[in-house]
Amino acid sequence: MNTVLIIEDDPAIVTGLEASFTAEHFEVITETDGEEGYRRAKKLRPDIIILDLMLPSKNGESICRDLRQDGITTPILMLTSKSAEMDKVLGLELGADDYMTKPFSLRELHARVKALLRRSSEINEPEEITIGKLWINLKTCEVSRNGTAVDLSAREFEVLKFFITHRNEVVSRDMLLDEVWGYEHYPTTRTVDNYILSLRKKIEESPSEPQHLLTVHTAGYKFVGEVL
């Protein structure tokens, strides 16, 4: 489960963001004061920060600048009522990863947050991974099992890659649909199940008794295995 720290002093926005990200299976931490938000960001190291620009005691630009100077690379999405181009440029120059202007679409905000998390996980993930008898090259999209190449379609590899970057986490069918297929091409959850069956046939020693790609009853799936 990813953790989002929301540093925002508008109670209505905080309530809406907290409810929406909780529904998206995030652990949500909120803070309305800039100085305290900065301290919590340093201490808690969340997976992503949503940062308002205008805050009491310490503004968003100062928080962003100081976190980057502290060596904290957590993705930061700035959220502000300002729309001037220079404000956006300054925020990005100080180290913000993205910028949205109020009012905003929750659907777009979720999509941008997930995109930032994907990029962050890919940056921190090694290019080659060995898990059990599986070898995966995340850059070249190559997969082998017991030294024999595994032929995966582009979509199958994207599904596998998502599981690997979220290994040991429960992944729901809706999460896979959002992240791998996206909002523009939205198939049914049955499509996910079919891809899981296909992947198991290709990567598991015994597809009927999977060791890596497990079913979590009523919740979805989980990819398990120690990286060697």
Ordered by where they begin, the domains of the chain are 3-123 (3.40.50.2300), 126-223 (1.10.10.10)
User: Quick one: 61 exposed, middle or buried, by C-beta within 10 A (0-12, 13-18, 19+)?
Assistant: buried
pTM of model > 0.85: no
What is the average pLDDT value for the chain, to the nearest integer? 88
Residue 126's pLDDT is 74
Q: How many CB atoms lie within 10 A of CB 146?
A: 10
Dihedral in degrees, nearest 10, Cα atoms 82, 84, 88, 91:
-60
- Say if residue 37's pLDDT is above 80: yes
Residue 183's pLDDT is 52
- Say if residue 90's pLDDT is above 80: no
Most confident stretch, 42-56, 83-97, 185-199: 42-56
Tens of pLDDT, residue by residue over 119-169, are 776 656 678 889 999 999 988 999 999 999 999 999 999 999 889 888 888
What percentage of the chain carries pLDDT values higher than 70? 91
- Say if residue 184's pLDDT is above 60: no
Phi-psi region of 100 (alpha: psi -120 to 50; beta: other; left: phi over 0): beta
CB 116 within 8 A of CB 97: yes
CA 82, 83, 87, 91 torsion: positive or negative?
positive
